[in-house]
Structure 1
C-alpha cells in the first residue's frame, strides 16, 4: 500500500459558483446619449437571454472602475461587462475577484482579456472621406481632449489626420479645436472659437454626435448655412441625430453586433468550467456612414 505521506496529492477542483442570472455592467456616464442607448440595448438583449443587468456608473473614475472590476460593493454576479476609461491591464491582472469579463471600447486595446470594440480610427477616416466626397476641402475636427484624455478621442483624431493626409486636404492646425468633454456645450463653444479665429472651413468632423449638435447650434448662430456653407458629420449615430436641424449625418457603429458579441463572449466564459484555459478574443465590429441633410450638398454648393 502506498505511503500516504509520499502519495501524490491531487488538487481539489475549483468549485463552480451558483449561477445568479445577473451580469454587472460598468458604464462611464449615462448622461452621454451613446452610452445610454448602448446600455438600453444591452439590457434588452440580456433579457432575451434570461440575464439581468446590474448597471454601475463609474464617471471614468479610476478607483471606482477598479472596485467594480474587483466586485467591491456588488452582489454576486455571473460576470462583468466593463467599459473602462482609466482602468489598466495591471489593475485587471490583480483582480481580487476574478471571473468572466468582457471589455468594451478602445481604452485597453491589447490585453489578455476578451475585448469588443469598434474601429474609432476607421470611423473618423470614413467621416473625412465622406465630407471630401461632397466637395469639402478645408475640414475642421472638433474633438481632441488633451485636458481630459480619451482613447476614443485620440483614435478618432488620428483617423482624421490620416485621412487629411491621404486625400491631400489642407492640414492647417488652426482647423483643429479641443474639447474638454464630448458634450453639446463643448461643441458649441469650440465652434464659436473657431469662427472667432476667422479660420476658413467648409466641413466639420465632430468627435461624437453630442459635440455635433453643439456645432450645428453655433453655425446657426453665426448665420452659416448647413450644408451649403459648412457640411457637418458626427460619430455614433444616436437617435437624436435624425431629429437635428438639419438631420445629422453620422458614422453608425453596428451596436447590435457589438452587444451580441459582448454577451456571446461573456456567456462563453460563464459556461466554461472554472479555471478553463479559454482563448482570448478581440472582436472589431463594423461601422457605416448614415448620410442625412447635414452633408447633402448639391453640385452648386461644392
Structure 2
C-alpha cells in the first residue's frame, strides 16, 4: 500500500497543504471546523507524519521528552498522563524516559539520548547539578519539575512542599491531634523534597505552640510502602505515642495503615493519617486517605505551555511557577 502523503490529506479535506501542516504541527491559529475536517481526513486515510521529513522542513519533530525518576510511582505516572493529554491537545507526542535518579541517565536526557529526536524536554532530575543542567541543555528547550535548583535561564514548575506540609499538619492540629508524627525521612535520600516537607510540618507545630519532638520524626530504609510499614511497626513496638501521622506520600500512608492494623490501632480513632499526592490509591484505601493534592493537571499544563513558548522561540531568564494544592479530606483524617 502506498504511503499516504500530506497532499492526499489536503485533497481529501479540501484545504491547502499548509493548513494540513499547521494542524499536524499543532499550530493554534486554525479554525476549529477546519481542524476537525483535516483531522477526520488524517484518521480516515491513516496519515502518519514522516518525522525525518518534518524535521528537515520545519526544524521540528512534533515530539517532546518527559524524563522522570520512576514511571511506576503513582504521582509520576499521573503527571505523565496529564502531560501526554496536554501535549496531544497541541499536536505533540511524548516520549517518556525513566532515570531512576541515576546521574548518568539524567545527563543523557540533556546531552546524548534525545539529541535530534525531540523538540524539548520536561525533566524532573534528582542528582544532576545546576551547572551541569546549564551546560548540557544549551539550546534544547527545557522545563524542570520538582525541588531541584534551576539555572537562571531555565524554566521551573513546582509544588510548594513547605506550605503543603504545613497545611496538612494544621488540619490535624485543628482536629485536636496533639502528638503528630512525620513519616518520614528516608536513609540516603538526596532530594530536597522530604526536608522541605519536614520544614513545613515543623513550622505548623511551632506556629501552634506545640513543642518539637525529634522522636516523632520517623526514618525509613527506603521509599516503598514496605519500608514505611517497618518504620511504624518499630515505632509502635518501642512504645512511641502518636495520634496522627503526616506521611511523605500515599505509599507511606498505605504502609502505615498496614502497620497500625497489625498493632490493633484504629484509623482515625487512635491515629489519623494524612497522605500526599492524592493518587488513585488514596481513594480506594480503607479507610480512604486524606491526602495533600497537588494540582497535577495544572502542573502539566503550565510546564508544557512554558516549554511550547521556548520551542517557539521565547528567550530570556527562567520563569518560576508554583502550582496550587488542596487537602482532600477523607475518613483517615476527618476535620474538626
> TM-score with structure 1 length normalisation?
0.88
Residue 277 in structure 1 maps to residue 315 in structure 2? yes
Match of 1:88 among 129, 138, 159: 129
**Deviation of residue 109 (structure 1)?**
5.1
Deviates more, 1:54-63 or 1:181-190: 181-190
2:235 is equivalent to residue 194 of structure 1:
yes
1:150, CA displacement in angstroms? 1.9
Summarize the Cα distance change of 1:202–1:100 in structure 2 as closer, same or farther, 3 Å threshold. same
For residue 97 of structure 1, report the CA deviation from its aligned partner: 5.5
1:23 counterpart = 2:64 = yes
2:281 — aligned with what?
A: 240
Structure 1 counterpart of 2:36: none
Which of 239-248 and 277-286 deviates more?
A: 277-286
Consecutive unaligned residues in structure 1, runs of 5 or more:
1-14
Quote how far apart the aligned CAs of 1:161 are. Answer: 1.3
CA offset digits 1:51-70 (Å, max 9, x no partner): 10011100000111011111
1:56 pairs with 2:94: no
Look up the SS of the partner of 2:140 in the other structure: coil
Residue by residue over 1:53-89, the C-alpha shift from the partner in whole angstroms, topping out at 9 and shown as x without a partner, is 0111000001110111114365521000001111111
**Rounded Cα–Cα distance in structure 2 between residues aligned with 1:75 and 1:220:** 52
How does 1:41-190 map onto structure 2 within 5 Å?
41-72=82-113, 75-95=116-136, 98-108=139-149, 111-190=152-231
- Once the two structures are TM-superposed, the CA of residue 164 in structure 1 deviates from its matched residue by 1.4
CA distance in 2, matches of 1:156, 1:65: 24
Contact 2:68 2:98 (8 Å CA) reproduced: yes
Whether the 8 Å contact between 2:126 and 2:190 is mirrored in structure 1 is no
Q: How many Å apart are 1:148 and its aligned residue?
A: 2.2
Structure 1 distance, partners of 2:163, 2:177, is 19
Task: Determine helix, strand or coil for the equivalent of 2:122.
Answer: strand
Aligned-partner Cα distance in 2 for 1:263–1:138: 41
Relative to the length of structure 2, the TM-score reads 0.80
Is structure 2 residue 332 aligned with structure 1 residue 294? yes
Q: Note if contact 2:130-2:149 (Cα within 8 Å) is conserved in structure 1.
A: yes
Instruction: Using CA pairs under 8 Å that are at least 6 residues apart, name the structure with larger relative contact order, 1 or 2.
Output: 1
Query: How many Å apart are 1:45 and its aligned residue?
Result: 1.5
Separation in 1, partners of 2:100, 2:263: 34
Shift of 1:235: 1.1
User: For structure 1, which segment, 107-116 or 212-221, has the greater mean C-alpha deviation from structure 2 after superposition?
Assistant: 107-116
Higher alpha-carbon deviation: 69-78 or 83-92: 69-78
Alpha-carbon distance in 2 for matches of 1:32, 1:250: 16
User: Do 1:138 and 1:202's aligned partners in 2 also have CA atoms closer than 8 Å?
Assistant: yes
Q: Which has the higher helix share?
A: 2
The superposition leaves residues 218-244 of structure 1 with CA deviations (integer Å, 9 ceiling, x where unpaired) of 111111011011000011100110110
